[in-house]
Amino acid sequence: MIPRYITDVDLSQLPRVRTDVVVIGVGIAGLYTALQASEFAQVMLIGKKGLDDSNTRWAQGGIAAVTAQTDSPALHLKDTLVAGAGLCSYEAVDVLVHEGPERLKELIEYGTNFDKDEQGQYELTKEGAHSQRRILHAHGDATGAEIVRALSERTRQTDQITVLENHFVIDVVTRQGECVGVLVMGPDGELFFVESTATVLATGGAGQLYRYTTNPDIATADGIAMAYRAGADIKDMEFIQFHPTVLHFPGAPRFLITEAVRGEGAILRNIDGERFMEKYHPQKELAPRDIVARAIISEMERTNSAYVYLDITHESEELIKHRFPTVYGFCLQYGLDMVTDWIPVSPACHYIMGGVQTDLHGETATKRLFACGEVSCTGVHGANRLASNSLSEAVVFGHRIVQRIKELPPLEAVRPLAFVRERKMTAIQTREQRIRLQKLMLRYVGLKRNEAGLKKAMAEMEKMLALFDCQSREKEAYELLNLLTVATLATRASLLRTESRGGHYRSDFPDKDDVNWRKHIIQSIDGGVREEVELSNVE
């Protein structure tokens, strides 16, 4: 059983601070939303680590938005819907493709330097399932780092934003179905209550659910778990994207090799040196991500190998070093020279399409609680996210959230309220439990799933949840409980969806079933599980 609150404190005994808007998370969604909100409100921005520590920081490929004369919102919309495999919300995608270009201009105004060519035009690259070159990038393949640099510099200069680094939000606090703030743990374990008119979850994704992931350590699904405990609706949790090309080399961490490498011409070869993607999809290496990832797994199984190769050796040294300085430099540390060597790669968990369900203004089912970026499920990604749409989604919906927050009446002062203690929570051997969970997820809730495996995983997770019964107050224990909570949501939805679509593949139901499954699975702590037909019905 998942408790409403994961710690047992009496708020009336805690120090309390008040702000207009509290934003949790310091990736693009958190930084941008905080900056926009600071134009009319006092903002508190809370990060688990420093301002530079977010998933955004590691984004390589870029940000997708229509800027070229030859491109159009209609084409961007079509590509997004096709990748989303019938489960995108047409309205949400329409918002994304039409508002993305304006928001991109704001990122530039905030100081982000995207790469330009010699004529001063933005360089545009392509990634899987994009019909056009429409992805802007920075420093070749360091787009996220550049965005974080620009936005965090601006944030630090903004008096209306108070930044709390190395602070962990334990839970969002609700009163009669309305969010009234957050319970925060400081770097020395001290607790306090931040009371706020609006609360924005921008906590990123859940990559740490898996043993192999492109996400940093902080991606522990905190926002999804907190929102679930607070009564919000959690949607589409079975759709998890594995990035096809992640470095797989002895001694090296699983480092993302951006899809833009394939966009610039790289091909995939199996262990025998054969190019194989033409067997799987007409778009070959630039097919939608789920298809490329599963094709790689099939080739790995067929040839009994733990990896395949990414080969860009036919392109010029100049192009490789200019476009991919980060990837080039990283591989070189391990003796792999992209100019001359094929790079060993395999898929790893990258992005979760599901999350906290929001409306078109980022508002969740819990009043005054908003979700932005990977933690949210706005309907933009459907069953499979189009590459580089996530950075644009964060700014488009961050902007809309702030417009909605402007209209909110101020919160009445919150009476001191006591949490009901449902159960004491701490992890025994937290680290071991986290690895055990990550292995379970990889084995049974990974790229290929089936009923027997999913049931086994669910039973194991329930046993692990029952272990939360001892007494210390530690961030790692809270993170583990958040991961376990979200793992059960993903596993339950995967068991229910008896078909294959996008980032959810069932070997016992390998086909897409539009008759029965053009639907979303929505879970909530109070309402259990329900299904909702996707009415947009467009692909």
Residues making contact with ligand SIN (CB under 6 A) = 60-61, 258-260, 350-351, 387-388, 390
Judged by CB, which is closer to ligand SIN: 67, or 199?
67
| Residue 87 contacts residue 178 (beta carbons within 8 Å) | no
Residue partners of 17: CB distance under 8 A and separation at least 6: 44, 192, 193, 194, 195
Q: Which residue is nearest to ligand SIN (CB)?
A: 61
Cβ at position 439, least distance to ligand SIN in Å: 24
Cβ at position 61, least distance to ligand SIN in Å: 3
289 is catalytic: yes
**What is the Cα–Cα distance from 133 to 137, expressed in whole angstroms?**
11
Cβ at position 388, least distance to ligand SIN in Å: 4
Is 357 exposed, middle or buried (CB count within 10 Å of its CB: 0-12, 13-18, 19+)?
A: buried
Judged by CB, which is closer to ligand SIN: 26, or 349?
349
Judged by CB, which is closer to ligand SIN: 295, or 387?
387
Q: Among 154, 211, 289, 492, which one carries the catalytic annotation?
A: 289
Phi, psi of 305 (to 5 degrees): -130, 155
Cβ at position 420, least distance to ligand SIN in Å: 41
Cβ at position 277, least distance to ligand SIN in Å: 16
Q: In what order do the strands lie in the sheet with 343-352?
A: 240-247, 343-352, 308-311, 267-269
**What is the Cα–Cα distance from 154 to 149, expressed in whole angstroms?**
9
Write the single-letter amino acid at 71: D
| Residue 451 contacts residue 508 (beta carbons within 8 Å) | yes
Helices 73-83 and 90-109 cross at an angle (nearest 10°) of 120
Write the single-letter amino acid at 16: R
**What is the Cα–Cα distance from 467 to 195, expressed in whole angstroms?**
32
Residue partners of 233: CB distance under 8 A and separation at least 6: 356, 357, 364, 365, 522, 523, 524, 527
Phi, psi of 315 (to 5 degrees): -90, 165
Cβ at position 236, least distance to ligand SIN in Å: 17
Six token digits for residue 7: 């710690």
**What is the Cα–Cα distance from 301 to 307, expressed in whole angstroms?**
9
Judged by CB, which is closer to ligand SIN: 261, or 525?
261
Judged by CB, which is closer to ligand SIN: 231, or 446?
446
**What is the Cα–Cα distance from 82 to 281, expressed in whole angstroms?**
14
Write the single-letter amino acid at 221: A
Cβ at position 19, least distance to ligand SIN in Å: 32
Judged by CB, which is closer to ligand SIN: 3, or 204?
204
Judged by CB, which is closer to ligand SIN: 258, or 378?
258
Six token digits for residue 257: 């090799």
Helices 475-496 and 451-466 cross at an angle (nearest 10°) of 150
Judged by CB, which is closer to ligand SIN: 180, or 209?
209
Cβ at position 128, least distance to ligand SIN in Å: 8
**What is the Cα–Cα distance from 83 to 386, expressed in whole angstroms?**
6
Cβ at position 261, least distance to ligand SIN in Å: 8
Cα-only R_g, the chain: 22
| Residue 219 contacts residue 207 (beta carbons within 8 Å) | yes
Q: Across the strands, what pairs with 213?
A: 349
Cβ at position 390, least distance to ligand SIN in Å: 5
| Residue 521 contacts residue 235 (beta carbons within 8 Å) | yes
**What is the Cα–Cα distance from 99 to 378, expressed in whole angstroms?**
14
**10, 34, 20, 100: which is closest to 63 by C-alpha?**
100
Judged by CB, which is closer to ligand SIN: 126, or 350?
350
Judged by CB, which is closer to ligand SIN: 141, or 222?
141
Active site residues: 289
